[in-house]
Structures are given as structure tokens and as C-alpha cells.
Amino acid sequence: MGAGPGNTVKVTRTTIDELLAAARNTLRRLPPTQAMAAMRSGAALIDIRGDSQMARDGTIPGALVIARNVLEWRLDPGSQHRHPQAPGLGDRVILLCDEGYQSSLAAATLQQLGFAGATDVDGGFQAWREAGLPVILPGRSALAPQAPARSAGQVTHPR
């Protein structure tokens, strides 16, 4: 019998640290430079950060942006809400959040949906930016964060 009025379901408590550790035990997390190399080799990099984080920090050129709260519906091949550019179950999927916590939990969930190659970026967007990898700053074209300010439309890449 399921949970409902008058029915009690016994639940075992798990802390968030235990949940995160269990999720990460299933992942081969990538440092930002390896995630960039994988992306160049055809892996799908999916940015699951919130709008306010992207507005504050910028976005990653070539990343598919899918909000965390709809991620599973946008990627599941059986979902009527699947994103037209969603990767297939056999594709390498790399998730990126702000600091690498949400993305670990989400990548473990994608593995349960059948995305065996799902993982995340260790340290998230903040580590990506710290590594000097390409970022499109708010209101600008692709720039490395350490690069001097340039007019919109000019592109620089990390050295």
C-alpha cells in the first residue's frame, strides 16, 4: 500500500552529506579542463544553474542550458517535454552548476534514467571560470574572465 491518509511509510533518514557522497560514488567527476576537452570531443555540457547565477556570472559557449527543476523531463527520451537538442542515453553528459553540488545529485539521477555516461564538473562554474576557460560574460561575447575588457563581439580564449 502506498502513502496516503491513514497510511504510514517508514523512511530511513539520510543526511545531505551522505546523499551527496552516495551520488558522487557513482560519478567520474571531471575537472573543468577535462570537461572542456570532453565537450570538444562531442560530450554534451549542460548548464543547470539558475537564471540569476547566469545573469551574474555569464554562460559557457556551446553549453546547453536547461534549468535544474526540469532537467529530467527535458532529457528523458520518453518524455513529451524532451528538449530537441537533448543528448541520447548513450551520449556523454556533463552537468555544471555553480559549485558542483547540485550537478552531482542531478548527474546521479540521470544515471538512474539510463544516462550511463552522466557526470559533472568538479567545482562547477566557479572552478571553470577560475581555470580561465571560455565564458560569455553578461552582455558580452565569449571572454576569458581574466582577459581585459574588450568591446562586445571580440573573442579571447585562455592561453
Catalytic residue IDs:
97
Residues across the chain:
159
Which of 77, 74, 97, 88 is CA-nearest to residue 118? 88
- C-alpha grid cell for residue 46? 549542460
Residue type, 27: L
Please list, in sequence order, all residues whose beta carbon lies within 8 angstroms of the beta carbon of residue 10, skipping any fewer than 6 positions away. Answer: none
